[in-house]
Amino acid sequence: MSNFLFLFRGGNSDWLEDSPEEMQKHMQKWGAWMGGLREKGQLVDGLPLAKEGKVVEKAGEVITDGPFAEGAEIVGGYLIVSADDLAEAVAISKGCPIFEHEGNVEVREILSMNI
């Protein structure tokens, strides 16, 4: 078993115009999806992230708004998920509601000190 980082990004901006009802439904899908992971013991950790951020390069000589500001983030945030391997982690990510709004998930294995 390894832990994997799920980083949620992007999405079209149509949803910013969604009605409160539609937003609630979308939120409930996230809740249900994460709840499912928790029940199966796959969810290790996770937090939401603000839309604003900076990318710092060359020891602060270059500070940009970063490469991540593609479209409007739906649920910007990260999860740490436990899975057998990358393939399983990717399979888990497929159920994520972010795809409803054309967002994406970056899946990366977190390296462990244990050999």
Partner 1 sequence: MSERKAILENVFRHEYGKIIAVLVNRFGASNLEKIEDAVQDALVKAMQVWAFKEVPENPTAWLIKVAYNKIIDAFRKEAKVVMNDFETTDDLIDEPTTLSLKEHISDSQLKMIFACCHPSLSVEYQLVLSLKLIGGFGNREIAKVLLKKEATVAKSFTRARAKLKEEIKTLDIPIEIGLQSRLFVVMRVIYLLFSEGYAPHSGELIVRKDVCYEAIRLALLLQENKYCKHQNLDALIALMCFHVARFDARIDHKEQLVDLAHQDRSKYNQELINIGIFHLGSSGAIDRQPSNYYLQAMVSYYHCIAKTFEETEWGTILELYDLQLQQQYSPIVQLNRIVPYLQVHGAHKALKEIKVFEKSPHFIKNTLYHAIKAEILTDLGRLEDAKIALNNAIERCANPLQEKHLLGKLHVLTS
Q: Which of 13, 14, 31, 38 binds partner 1 (CB under 8 A)?
A: 31
By CB under 8 A, tell whether 101 contacts partner 1: no
Q: Residue 8's beta-bridge partner residues? A: 77, 105
The rounded distance, in Å, linking the Cα atoms of 97 and 100 is 6
Give me the least distance between CB of 98 and partner 1, in Å please.
11
Closest by CA to 34, choosing from 48, 20, 22, is: 48
Q: Is 95 in the site for partner 1 (CB under 8 A)?
A: no
75 binds partner 1 (CB under 8 A): yes
State the minimum distance, in angstroms, from the CB of residue 49 to partner 1. Answer: 8
Whole-number Cα distances in Å, 111 to 8, 19, 85, 108, 115: 19, 41, 12, 9, 10
CB 9, min distance to partner 1, A: 13
* Residue written as token pair 């490469």: 67
In the complex, the residues that contact partner 1 under the rule CB under 8 A are: 16-24, 26-27, 30-31, 34, 46-48, 75-77
